[in-house]
Chain A
Amino acid sequence: MNRQPRAVALISGGLDSMLAVKVLLEQGVHVEGINFYTGFCVEGHTHAIRKKDQKQEKRNNALWVAEQLGIKLHIIDVIEEYKAVLTNPKHGYGANLNPCLDCKSFMVKKAREWIDENEFDFIITGEVIGQRPMSQRKDTMPIIAQESGADERLLRPLCAKLLPPTLPEREGWIEREKLYDFNGRSRKPQMALAAQFGFDDYAQPAGGCCFLTDQSYSAKLGDLWQQRGSKNYELDDIMLLKVGRHIRPSENFKVIIGREEGENNFMNGYRKQFTHMRATSHQGPLALIDGNVSSDDLKLAAQLVARYSQGRDAAEVQIEVNEIGNETPFTLDVIPLHNDDIPQAWFI
């Protein structure tokens, strides 16, 4: 090759991809980062929504990592394309609704398309054999290379010595001997390499950076699909699953009740799309009603909303109801439900 080899790196914002890039930069490779936004990324949204988190210094870890490494970062919106991955994963789901193997294959495939369009030579990831139970196993890693179409243009610098040589190694664009043989769930080798590179600040996401690995979130998504009778969703749907208490008293509707001011403000942006209600006699949260409701359903929802207001112990709470298609709100005077009257099964 007459020019500097060029690689694109999948950047999650965690330590492994940061190290993988640094290893290649040390070998003189031109590296740029790529980060895919599926809509399920933990970063950003919930921190921005919750009032208590708004005072904390926020950073997008993928951007931060790119800046530390001195590389460009391209953030790609894959929300629409990702629906097919999530709703029909060829390799199934993990412990929750996380299609990790299909997801990684999809992202590497998108990276392969990107390098073809941008005249780059190969792709790198921070994958480590045995690090994750589904997508980072010795038997599944070749599947990702194959199904993405990246094949031998996919290099995992942190465990490359345990895998067959890839194109950049065989062509001599990089030295295989200067790659690594990390294996297993221990983080010690990565932390030692981070220290060697002088990285003393890096994100350590617990359980990954995707809402789909979260049991509670997956339960809400599963409920949404079940009630719709199909696995479709829009971005607003999956955003609303990130906020509030989701309580389903009946198959035909659920109530989303804000848990704090930031969530109430966020949900307020959806008030034109949902019948919504709020206590007027006492301080209380905003609630959105998702589904077709009868007047009895509305009364029950109002009693639930009263339960989560400051009037929970009052004899009666006034709830203002704004129905979709009815510009004039009306008031319901309700007795707040007692905790014992709310079956645990209602909580999604």
Chain B
Amino acid sequence: MSEKKNSFTEKRSTRRNFIKNSGLTLGGLVLGGAVTSLFVKNNNNATTTTPTEESAHGGAVTQYNHALMFFKPAEYQTTAAAVERIYPEDENGPGAKELGAAIYIDHQLAGQWGNNVKDYRLGAFYKPADNQSPQTVLLRKDLFRAGLEALDEYSKQNYDAVFTGLEPEQQDEVLTAFSEGNVTLYGDTSSAEFFSLLRTMTIEGVYADPMYGGNNEMKGWAMRKYPGTRMQYVNEIQSDEFIELKPEGLSSHMS
């Protein structure tokens, strides 16, 4: 790949800097109110994750949100092993395990996503025809837990060990069987539904903003040269050269 690496923008492109520098005329009836609100200091950010700046300077950082809301420790270990097979460490950089995808999944399953709060849950659940919307009776948190249990059960039956005790190649075989719907989970649910959720949540855990517990130190973004949540790309978008920018997370908009 012939790519020109421009020097990283030293100064973080916070909203304050951006607005100061852009010379934007911010008229309009609504916009004015919005911009002032960006400057309100909010000290109540206890759940935010990984203070990147500090860790970059070598200081020991406690990740206070790196704890379990939903999983039992063994379930967490199984999840960490599974996400690593979905998105493994390689020459590009860390895998989903190091990126914290299992913590991300734990926190998501404990919250409204895991409890299908915004989904339609009324009426009977029939078997869908091809192309119809999935009709999964289990809540995501229950589907995931049933899937983890089945991973161990299937591993024991076929390899005499729980999932975390298998070689990576064996784990891939197990996950392939699950992805193809070859295993039946609790309540006659197809393993393909669990696998699809696992796959989706792994990718989310790798690439969602680090405030959610994954994408540790924005290394998921850095691997694909994604700059995160910057305010503008007016120059970059017109450039014939690829411009690599240091990623920034949503926490940069708190200052």
**Chain A complexes with chain B:** no
B binding-site residues for A, Cβ under 8 Å? none
